[in-house]
Amino acid sequence: MKIVVKETEQEASSYVAEIIGTALREKPGLSLSLPTGSTPVHVLEDLVRKHHEEGLSFAKASLFNMDEYLGLGRNHPQGYYHFLDELLYSQVDVDRARTFAPDALDPVPEHAAAAYTKLIQDAGGFDLIFLGIGRDGHICFNMPADSLHPYTHLERLSEKTVADNTRFFDDASEVPTHAITIGLKLVLDSKKIVLLAIGSGKNDIVRELLASESITTQLPASFLRLHDDVTIVLDAAAAAGIELA
Ligand code: GLP
């Protein structure tokens, strides 16, 4: 895994935006999966800036949410599709017919999950997936557990993750406890993987991830070691005190 450390959150985010921008310029029909949460905010801002100032076009790209809270529709203000719509899709030349998320309103979530796996596979998988990481080591919404899922599935969120996510909701009781997320094989099938971790809150999990070469279902991000093209981008706060080879 290639590790890149930048001084500030802004610099780390710009570095990731440049990777995405370069990939899009090289392949306008890029198949790209994007994360949500706090981590991607400055990356998305920089992509919008690149669109306006540098003519970066998303017109031919396919964009995939990696997960969605169960029960939240595309227009729900705390939903993940809405998040990407607001911060990216509505501000660039994306073709909304090529923006995708699991159907979290499907009365049978397993059907929605299977349909999403098929959609991704029919598209040829991802060219690039940009990941955040949870403080418990989850990627997408693949939580630490005794076993992990390869394909899209319904996931019960860890207590730590539910607690972390309350900041996005008015009331703790509104925080969803389940999500539909892509699984580890769909992540690892991506041709290229970029993971961004910023801030001191991610320091412990980044240390744990980089401390060992082993792969464990208790730290889902450790599975990225199975892939040949992974770049982990950190800011100084996330990398603090960690010895990097
Ligand atoms: C969220 C999302 C992930 C994200 C991670 C970290 O719940 N499902 O896509 O990478 O957890 O979130 P944050 O960036 O807010 O710390």
For residue 31, the surrounding DSSP H or E stretch is strand 31-34
Q: How far is the CA of 141 from the centre of ligand 1 (A)?
A: 8
Q: What digits encode the pLDDT tens for the residues 48-82?
A: 999 999 999 999 999 999 999 999 999 999 999 99
Q: How far is the CA of 34 from the centre of ligand 1 (A)?
A: 11
Ligand 1 atom at shortest distance from the alpha carbon of 132? 10
Q: What digits encode the pLDDT tens for the residues 184-226?
A: 999 999 999 999 999 999 999 999 999 999 999 999 999 999 9
Which residue has the least CA distance to atom 7 on ligand 1?
A: 37
Domains of the chain with CATH codes: 2-239 (3.40.50.1360)
Report the distance separating Cα 245 and Cα 243, nearest Å. 7
What percent of the chain is modeled with pLDDT above 70?
Answer: 100
Q: How far is the CA of 38 from the centre of ligand 1 (A)?
A: 7
Q: What is residue 164's predicted lDDT score, i.e. its pLDDT?
A: 87
Whether residue 218 contacts residue 43, with contact meaning beta carbons closer than 8 Å, is answered with no
Mean pLDDT of the chain: 96
- Choosing from 36, 83, 136 the residue with most ligand 1 atoms within 8 A of its CB, the one to mutate for a pocket test is 36
Q: What digits encode the pLDDT tens for the residues 125-137?
A: 999 999 999 999 9
Length of the chain: 245
* Phi/psi of residue 179, nearest 5 degrees: -145, 155
Q: Is the pLDDT of residue 121 over 80?
A: yes
- Choosing from 33, 34, 39, 67 the residue with most ligand 1 atoms within 8 A of its CB, the one to mutate for a pocket test is 39
